[in-house]
Structure 1
Amino acid sequence: MTGRRRSSPRPIRRATAVATVSVVACGAAVASLLSACGSLPGSGDSGEKEPVTVMTWAPQNTKATNMPGMPAMAQAYARWVNARGGIRGHRLRVLTCNERNDSVAAAQCAQRAVDEGAAAVVGSYSQFGRQFMSPLEVKGIPFIGGYGASDEEFESPLSYPVNGGQASLLAGNGRQLARDCKRVALVRPDTIQGDQMPSLLNSGLQNGSRRPAKDIKAPEDGTDYSPQVTRALDEVGADPAAFGTSEAGGKAPGACVTASLGDHTDAFFDSFRRLQEESPEVRVASVLGSVGQSLVNRTGGISGPLEGADITGWYPVADDPRWKPMRRVVTDYAFDDNRIDPADQGVQTTWIAYTVLRALIEELDDKGVQDITAHELQTTLDEGDRAIDTGGLTPKLRWRDEDMLAVQDFPRIVNGMVTYQVVRGGQLVAAQDGFVNVTKTLERRKTDS
């Protein structure tokens, strides 16, 4: 089993550069096509102004969770807006950084953002909030639309989350499971972040008058989870007598196992599949980010262990028409970059975060601000006149004091909405229309459960 993540900062060591810079623009070679590089829809200005430098980081090529699609989506977004003359004439300069799932590398990414004069960090992933937020706070650089993998993203006054992070996913998953399950086992990483998961899931189960889940710790970077599968099945008492047949012909409430292990959730369900025949009636579940359509496909689709699984996400299902603008950008400007999966929640979060950035720059431009600085962005985020429309992918977003939800341990949450999805016919589809608000569930959460 791997060691638990440290919660205290480690000294920053000199290291090789972990960031690459993508400076994207309409090239001189296509000067004759500049008429096709007009302003972004709604921008009304294609003139040259000061460029805006931002950074997006995420772990890549590690043994734990990897999010290469996030910096790749940021680069594609920059190519798109710059091909249209920038955002109100401001060209977008995107720095990317490999966070490596390492506290030192996370701090180095943040320091590079400072050194390169980034006005914001946008749409990034890291579990090491303490290490990366400190350098940003010192220089007043806002952290916009992170993935929600660290506590500091929901505590720091310089953080502006676009979703409810792990907290909303697990609370929502608990509520989703409460409809179908009498007994639940949670398989989660043996890390500091993993330690929060039981109380979050249990808040949702409690909302449905269910007992707390059995907590099963697992190595974050494991390759065989057979011991955890066996224990989970034992803990929920998975036997045919636990089940009946509902009036609708489905399973009556019974034994359920939910797993949230990031990239290694596929290894868990591979182990589960091998042992599944012994307990065929067990219902499985997870959250998007740990499970996605690509994993459903890899594990056998309609005949795999995830068929019928309850899945909780932040955003509408991947084939929802509201994602069409993002898909067009990926098709036209990602140049077949196989790092970008439009169904991945990291990619989707990055798209939404850059949508927020664009709206902020447009608001500042409307006020006559020519130089888009970190201070200007922070002031607009804290006091802006407009709620930001993300095209229906989230509720309209604002981060004033009165917009913060009263959620213990997560005071920066402004969006407590999740979506319920289910694997049906080998496809992730909406389990019900619209968003589910888990704010009250989180507010009633008991942290000692």
Structure 2
Amino acid sequence: MKLRSCVLAAVLVTATACGTSGGGGGSGATLELFQIGPIESQTASLPMLQTGAQAAVDEINAAGGVHGKQIKLTTCNDRYDANEALRCAQEGARGDAVALVGSLSNFGAQVLPVLEEAGLPSIGADAITPVDAQSTANYLFDPGVPAFAGMPFVAAQQMGATKIASIHIETAGTATTQSYFDLGAKAAGVQNVAVYEIPADTLDYATYIAQATAAGAQVFVSSMSPEANLKLWKAIADAGSPIKVVASAGTVSEAVITEAGAAAEGSYVVAGTPDANPTNPTGQAFTAALQKYSPGTASSGLGLRAWASVHLFAEVAGGIQGDVTRESLTAALNQVDGLDFLWIDGLSFAKPGPIAELPRIASATVFPSRIQGGKLVPLDSLDPFGATP
């Protein structure tokens, strides 16, 4: 797999080189980008969204920016709260941002109408609910949460499971997330014997492990946060249970795996993006960026998506003749067709994506990995919306 984006190669080059020689990026000294996400909250704290996006901003700025202009990123913490998410969307719409990049919000129903009215495109958000994958404001290059449909496939293909249990932190989007698990379970031919929605402040997971084991579940499929997955693995170890976990790679860093220890061995993660480690060209470029611009930050799938989002912005904006504005950027995104970008062959926003019900998702491919020796070992990618186990 080659790293083919013209803003990313063995050595980063300027985004201006990706565009034409004419035109600049607006009348200001900088190009403003905006981001929305639960950077810190009781339900889930995902600071990797901000650090991933900022690492890309720093890379591009160090290489000369876009049309010679530096990029500035503003991140708004929605605290996993609908009112805060709406406030963030309004702040972004009122400001000078030409795009959102690498956002994640459980409240697309509140956020997206504001973006649509403001003509503010959102690049590379994490699709969570169906509205995220249907809104014309969104330009999504990976399946996001719908990739969770791949977790039952992995449980069946790689672990020989016939029965699984689903576990979630209780949020407004739990029902939608579970629907993706159900879709994957049906297609993979596995039985979902229990569904758990637990409060964010839960400390004791032993009850859920005992109940799931008694119901015959061999695997937990988890949509939970890094902290919650760590508690789950520790409880599995304390219980001496053989049950394994398939979780989102976006919330399972190697730091979490190390802390989980032996309890995580033999479990799996699934992501809509390649592994956020040097086992592949995209992961190699991402981890190099973190090491240079945010040393000490753990790599994760969520951070990689946010980083890639900024690079896609630079790729498209670099090709605009004239000012880079919300309008010109939207027009340029709508013309993207057949772009080889990072791991994606033929990225296109000029036509609906491959999932009929989720047309704004450009690629349905998901990437599983096995936890082995305290590391993530990549496996072959799959399409849970079209493949069979």
For the aligned pair, the TM-score class normalised by the smaller chain equals 0.7 to 0.9
Confirm or deny: 8 A CA contact 1:46 1:86 kept in the other structure.
no
Are residue 172 (structure 1) and residue 150 (structure 2) matched? yes
Q: How does 1:48-447 map to 2 (within 5 A)?
A: 49-50=25-26, 51-168=30-147, 170-179=148-157, 180-236=160-216, 255-263=218-226, 264-275=228-239, 277=240, 279-280=241-242, 282-300=243-261, 304-317=262-275, 318-322=277-281, 323-334=283-294, 336=295, 338=296, 340-342=297-299, 344-364=300-320, 369-384=321-336, 386-392=337-343, 394-401=344-351, 403-408=352-357, 410-430=358-378, 432-433=379-380, 435-440=381-386
Which residue is equivalent to 1:447? none
Q: Deviations over 1:100-147 (max 9, x none)?
A: 111121112111112222111011111111222122111110111012
User: Secondary structure of 2:83's partner?
Assistant: helix
Query: Residues of 1 paired with 2:269 and 2:61: CA distance?
Result: 36
Confirm or deny: 8 A CA contact 1:178 1:204 kept in the other structure.
no
Q: Give the aligned CA root-mean-square deviation in angstroms.
A: 2.5
Query: Residues of 2 paired with 1:46 and 1:292: CA distance?
Result: 42
Q: Which amino acid aligns with 1:330?
A: L
Rg larger for: 1
Q: 1:52 to 1:213 in 2, by over 3 A?
A: farther
Q: Deviations over 1:166-190 (max 9, x none)?
A: 112x211111112311211111233
User: Secondary structure of 1:438's partner?
Assistant: coil
Query: Residues of 1 paired with 2:183 and 2:193: CA distance?
Result: 10
**Which stretches in structure 1 are left out of the alignment for 5+ residues?**
1-36, 238-254, 443-449
Q: Which amino acid aligns with 1:161?
A: L
Q: Deviations over 1:224-266 (max 9, x none)?
A: 22222222112226xxxxxxxxxxxxxxxxx222222123221
Q: Which amino acid aligns with 1:293?
A: E
Instruction: Give me the identity figure in percent.
Output: 21
Q: By how many angstroms is 1:422 displaced?
A: 0.5
Query: Residues of 1 paired with 2:17 and 2:291: CA distance?
Result: 22
Confirm or deny: 8 A CA contact 2:25 2:31 kept in the other structure.
no
Q: 1:391 to 1:38 in 2, by over 3 A?
A: closer
**Which stretches in structure 2 are left out of the alignment for 5+ residues?**
1-11
Q: By how many angstroms is 1:38 displaced?
A: 8.2
TM-score where L is the length of structure 1: 0.76
Q: 1:133 to 1:274 in 2, by over 3 A?
A: same
Q: 1:138 to 1:345 in 2, by over 3 A?
A: same
Which residue is equivalent to 1:42? 17
Confirm or deny: 8 A CA contact 2:35 2:73 kept in the other structure.
yes
Q: By how many angstroms is 1:268 displaced?
A: 2.0
User: Secondary structure of 1:212's partner?
Assistant: strand
Q: 1:39 to 1:108 in 2, by over 3 A?
A: same
Query: Residues of 1 paired with 2:32 and 2:53: CA distance?
Result: 12
Query: Residues of 2 paired with 1:438 and 1:41: CA distance?
Result: 38
Q: 1:89 to 1:213 in 2, by over 3 A?
A: farther
Q: Deviations over 1:182-222 (max 9, x none)?
A: 21111123333111233322322332333334222222342
Q: 1:119 to 1:48 in 2, by over 3 A?
A: closer
Query: Residues of 1 paired with 2:14 and 2:270: CA distance?
Result: 37
Query: Residues of 2 paired with 1:59 and 1:188: CA distance?
Result: 17
Confirm or deny: 8 A CA contact 1:57 1:71 kept in the other structure.
no
Alignment length (residue pairs):
368
Query: Residues of 1 paired with 2:203 and 2:22: CA distance?
Result: 51
Which 10-residue stretch deviates more, 140-149 or 77-86?
77-86
Query: Residues of 1 paired with 2:129 and 2:200: CA distance?
Result: 16
Q: 1:396 to 1:354 in 2, by over 3 A?
A: farther
Q: Which amino acid aligns with 2:237?
A: R
Confirm or deny: 8 A CA contact 2:251 2:302 kept in the other structure.
no
Which 10-residue stretch deviates more, 59-68 or 282-291?
282-291
Q: 1:379 to 1:320 in 2, by over 3 A?
A: same
Q: 1:210 to 1:96 in 2, by over 3 A?
A: closer
Query: Residues of 2 paired with 1:436 and 1:173: CA distance?
Result: 11
